[in-house]
Amino acid sequence: MVGVVESRIRRVGRPPQDASQRLARAHHILDVAGDLVLRWGYDKTTVEDIARRAGVAKGTIYLHWKTREELFAALLRRERVEMITEVRRRIGEGPATLRELLRLLASETLSRPLIRASVLGDSEVLGRLTRQKRDRTAGAELDAGFQGYFGTLLEHGALRSDLSPAEQVTTLVSILYGFLSVPSMMPAGYRPADERLAELIADAGGRALEPGGPIPPAAARAVARATLEYVDAAVEAAQRKLRVSLGSEESKP
Amino acid sequence: MVGVVESRIRRVGRPPQDASQRLARAHHILDVAGDLVLRWGYDKTTVEDIARRAGVAKGTIYLHWKTREELFAALLRRERVEMITEVRRRIGEGPATLRELLRLLASETLSRPLIRASVLGDSEVLGRLTRQKRDRTAGAELDAGFQGYFGTLLEHGALRSDLSPAEQVTTLVSILYGFLSVPSMMPAGYRPADERLAELIADAGGRALEPGGPIPPAAARAVARATLEYVDAAVEAAQRKLRVSLGSEESKP
DNA sequence: AAATGACCGGATAACCGTATACGGTCAAGT
DNA sequence: ACTTGACCGTATACGGTTATCCGGTCATTT
């Protein structure tokens, strides 16, 4: 029997009873973890809390993740997958331009407290996780194929050529970060609604990065194709990272 | 003799020996205070430190300011006066547009660590002063006449009319804040030089807030006049606040 | 009359020893 | 073979006491 052979071979993380049930349990645990983190913050959310509210024993959680930190990494990664997947879905509905991509990224970020906290380094929510590894991990999914995407935009005249790549990135990130940070510290009367804010971000970003003139239809099609490919690649990369995080394999070999 | 009469009248803060010497001493103390705050941060800079390095006794400092907090308020106000004054000087050299105003504000902010820290709420430098009164005090100088200025821009077609005032302000502040925050958390290779950064800010802000089309010369002149008047008013307001801070009068009657 | 610095009192830090909490493990149970 | 929860060691919180610091005052000096 194959099962016997497998049980002989077993190295570290052997597949359990039912793979899909196991996955469902992992997701349930992450649901609970997300809930508690938003309520109490990262620092005050303990593994035992999560276990109790999820209806499993603490040890079970360690059957999924090697450490508490990896559990939360999985939580953030799952959130990122959901976000970028939703962006992918919505960008299929209209024109796939840089502006539209920006608008959807902003919109989906605004509606996801964990993502917002992660992007802004909100220590209220993320506690001591804030200034730790965030440096290169957070934006990693979006980095996949990013250079190539901007290169393609440039080729087809959909990106200003009078800014260096570093300046383009600085501009993009600064605008996103600024618009995500500022409204929450302004008096309530000044704060636009989230959807409107996403439009303002897309507008400001588009005006800052796109050249003035109109784009020929062929180029527009090429841009749309490149945009979809880029988002697809981002979804793919995010899913890959998540899959590792949910399998209880080691992340860094 | 007038002097005698004055000495009879004296209420709380009587003018001392030589007004100009007294003012020079206040400035010297502020020089030292600024130095120490940048070195050690607000929290770790004591009044006695300042007194010692300024070559005066601690009591002397209290002849200038009623509390330690007022001393630092004066320090920031002086910095703001210097900054806005320099903006006023430089904007006289070229065209006085919104873009140019933005560029100079950014440039002068970037070159003044205390102003930067104040704008960004940098608790590394400003310690517990950070989230205290900053809310409405910091931008107060710039608020003077701001509404009127934007109204004038609008009248002359130098400001987009498809954004509400609240959205214009949100956009302006977000772009400034974003570009001031982001570069310092990016890898060094991505960080543009300060002068270039100021240009990027002016560019992004201009594109986000100015309408596309060209402006007739008469309107441009009116805009330039309004811009100069606005900056003049800002200088005036900043100086007024500083004067109060340097006189050891009470600030809030 | 202005300047000084010793002095005051409240606030904060430092210390410390105890207790609790929590991440992580693993023998026992099903 | 998966799941459990009692258990372990350590890091952190806590409470209470002491010591130091530092903002602010004011009698004394020049």
Residue A171 confidence (pLDDT) above 50:
yes
- Pick the more confident residue, B144 or A181: A181
Q: Does B169 touch chain A (CB under 8 A)?
A: yes
Residue B6's pLDDT is: 34
| Alpha-carbon gap: A175 to the closest alpha carbon of chain B (Å) | 6
Q: What is the pLDDT of residues A127-167, one digit of tens each?
A: 877 655 554 455 666 777 888 999 999 999 999 999 999 99
Give contacts of B183 with chain A, Cβ < 8 Å.
Answer: 170, 174
**Where does the pLDDT of residue B2 fall: very low under 50, low under 70, confident under 90, or very high at 90 and above?**
very low
Q: Please report the DSSP string for chain A in residue order.
A: -HHHHHHHH--SS---S-HHHHHHHHHHHHHHHHHHHHHH-TTT--HHHHHHHHTS-HHHHHHH-SSHHHHHHHHHHHHHHHHHHHHHHHHTTS---HHHHHHHHHHHHHT-HHHHHHHHT-HHHHGGGTTSSHHHHTTHHHHTTHHHHHHHHHHTT-S-SSS-HHHHHHHHHHHHHHHHHSGGGS-GGG---HHHHHHHHHHHHHHHHS-SS---HHHHHHHHHHHHHHHHHHHHHHHHHHHHHHTT--S--
Mean of all residue pLDDT scores within chain B: 86
Residue B95 Cβ under 7 A from any strand C atom:
no
Residue A179 and residue B181: Cβ atoms within 8 Å?
no
Residue A207 and residue B203: Cβ atoms within 8 Å?
no
Q: What is the pLDDT of residues A54-112, one digit of tens each?
A: 999 999 999 999 999 999 999 999 999 999 999 999 999 989 999 999 999 999 999 99
Q: Which segment of A80-89, A139-148, B214-223, B225-234 scores lowest on mean pLDDT?
A: A139-148
Q: What is the pLDDT of residues A41-58, one digit of tens each?
A: 999 999 999 999 999 999
Residue A14 confidence (pLDDT) above 60:
no
Averaged pLDDT, B154-161: 95
Residue B131's pLDDT is: 55
Residue A228's pLDDT is: 96
Averaged pLDDT, B196-224: 95
Q: Does B190 touch chain A (CB under 8 A)?
A: yes
How many angstroms separate the CA of A62 from the C1' of C25? 10
Give contacts of A194 with chain B, Cβ < 8 Å.
Answer: none
Q: Which segment of A104-118, B2-16, B139-153 scores lowest on mean pLDDT?
A: B2-16
Q: What is the pLDDT of residues B88-105, one digit of tens each?
A: 999 999 899 999 999 999
Averaged pLDDT, A109-126: 91
Residue A127's pLDDT is: 80
**Where does the pLDDT of residue B8 fall: very low under 50, low under 70, confident under 90, or very high at 90 and above?**
very low
Q: Does A149 touch chain B (CB under 8 A)?
A: no
Give contacts of A189 with chain B, Cβ < 8 Å.
Answer: 166
User: A13-20: long-range contacts at Cβ-Cβ below 8 A with a sequence spacing of 24 or more?
Assistant: A13/A247, A13/A248, A13/A249, A16/A63
Q: What is the pLDDT of residues B29-38, one digit of tens each?
A: 999 999 999 9
Q: Does A15 touch chain B (CB under 8 A)?
A: no
Residue A249's pLDDT is: 43
Give chain D positions with protein CB within 7 A: 1-6, 21-27
Chain B residue with CA closest to A196: the answer is: B167
Q: What is the pLDDT of residues B36-85, one digit of tens each?
A: 999 999 999 999 999 999 999 999 999 999 999 999 999 999 999 999 99
Tell me what percent of the residues of chain B surpass a pLDDT of 90: 71
- Pick the more confident residue, B12 or A225: A225
Q: Closest to B175 (Cβ–Cβ): which among A167, A170, A178?
A: A178
